[in-house]
Amino acid sequence: MRQILIPTDFSENAWNATRYALELFKEDECVFHLLNTYTPALVSNRFIAHPKNGRPIAAGSKEQSEEGLGKLMHRIRNYTSNDNHYFETYSSFAMLNDEVKQFVEQEGIDYIVMGTKGASDQPEVYMGHNTVRLLKSIKSCPILAIPKPFEFARPDEITFSTDFYRFYTDSELAPLIEMAKTFDATIRIVHIQQGIAPLTDVQQFNLGMLRKYLGPVEHYVHTVSELDSVSKTLQVFNEELNIHLLAMLNYRYSYLDQVTEDPVVKKKTFETEVPLMIIPELSMGGPGHRAKSPMSYAEGIN
């Protein structure tokens, strides 16, 4: 049974990501973990916190969090009915990044699905601070970052962007291969160059190993010249081939690592109109152990 974590701030961006997850995994038996974290703003005189209207601040925020999760469950029930899907809701007084890291380890999460940005992020922002923080800190499972607006489409064509300078392990490529097998998808390996140049010996070796690992699925290699930017080149490539999922590995000095140096990623720096699967840099052993530790309740949609 798949374990899917959906962090939510109850925004339309978060709902868009939730709908995507429900559609993407509709044929699979899944537990969807719906997580809302809250860190209430303190009403303070210097460093001393005071309650509002005599009510504890944290208690009020917890009520809002639990109410929001209840409304989200109601919205899900109205949207879909799927015997394969079960839901657990979690309201936590914690920083999102810390809670997700602990949650992924305890629950053996297979995928994190979230919006590229939250309710508080500005229109010019492509990837908000919460998504950027998780992208940098989660090292044991892929993150699916869903832009808004995006209407679900089967990922039967997947772009995998690489420069062939890094050797990929089988554990790192496993999520990509699994996604391709699930949807009988073709993987389009895209190598973007500034001008045309032959591959180095290292690049040739890494390409050969990549093709070996991707042997079980249909895949093609595309070398394209960079347009205005890597981001623009990928957008044009995805549009021309009708791609519905972009996969990238996140490791030190990678393209993703460079564009996420700032707390948020603005659209002028990087943007994709299709969902982005962010694959973390893994050890040869792959993701860690799985252990169930429910924090609240489970509910099936029948």
Higher pLDDT, 9 or 121: 9
pLDDT digits (tens, 9 = 90+) for 125-161: 878 888 888 988 898 899 999 988 788 999 999 999 9
Tell me, yes or no, whether 21 and 124 share the same domain: yes
* CATH number, position 110: 3.40.50.620
Q: Indicate if the pLDDT at residue 195 is higher than 70.
A: yes
- Residue at 137 is within a domain: yes
What is the average per-residue pLDDT within 202-211?
96
- 144 and 13 together in one domain: yes
User: Average per-residue pLDDT in the chain?
Assistant: 84
Average pLDDT over residues 197-207: 94
143 shares its domain with 226:
no
What pLDDT, on the 0 to 100 scale, is given for residue 117? Answer: 83
What is the rounded distance in angstroms from the CA atom of residue 181 to the CA atom of residue 83? 23
pLDDT at 302: 39
Question: Does 132 lie in the same domain as 10?
Answer: yes
Whether 62 and 78 share a structural domain? yes
For residue 89, the number of C-alpha atoms closer than 13 Å in the C-beta half-sphere is 18
- Quote the CA–CA distance of 144 and 114 in Å, as a whole number: 6
Q: How far is the C-alpha of 110 from the C-alpha of 156, rounded, in Å?
A: 20
Domain count, the chain: 2
In-domain check, residue 281: no
Residues 79 and 215 in one domain: no
Q: Are residues 36 and 142 in the same domain?
A: yes
- With both helix axes pointing from N to C terminus, report the angle between 57-79 and 12-24 in degrees, rounded to the nearest 10: 40
Token couple for 101: 């890291």
Higher pLDDT, 203 or 295: 203
User: Which residue range(s) make up the domain with 121?
Assistant: 2-42+49-149+288-300
Q: Do 6 and 140 sit in the same domain of this protein?
A: yes
Relative orientation angle of helices 96-107 and 129-137, to the nearest 10 degrees: 40
Return the percentage of the chain with pLDDT > 90, whole number.
59
pLDDT value for 297: 36
DSSP string for 45-108: ETTEEE-BTTB-HHHHHHHHHHHHHHHHHHHHHHH---TTEEEEEEEESS-HHHHHHHHHHHHT
| pLDDT recorded at residue 261 | 74
* pLDDT grade for 61, boundaries at 50, 70 and 90: confident
Say yes or no to pLDDT of 262 above 90: no
Shared-domain flag, residues 14 and 105: yes
pLDDT band at 299 (very low <50, low <70, confident <90, very high): very low
| Better-scored residue on pLDDT, 302 or 25 | 25
Q: What pLDDT, on a 0 to 100 scale, did the predictor assign at position 54?
A: 52
Q: Taking 60 as the threshold, does the pLDDT of residue 107 lie above it? A: yes
pLDDT tens readout for residues 64-73: 999 999 999 9
Residue 273 is assigned to a structural domain of this protein: no
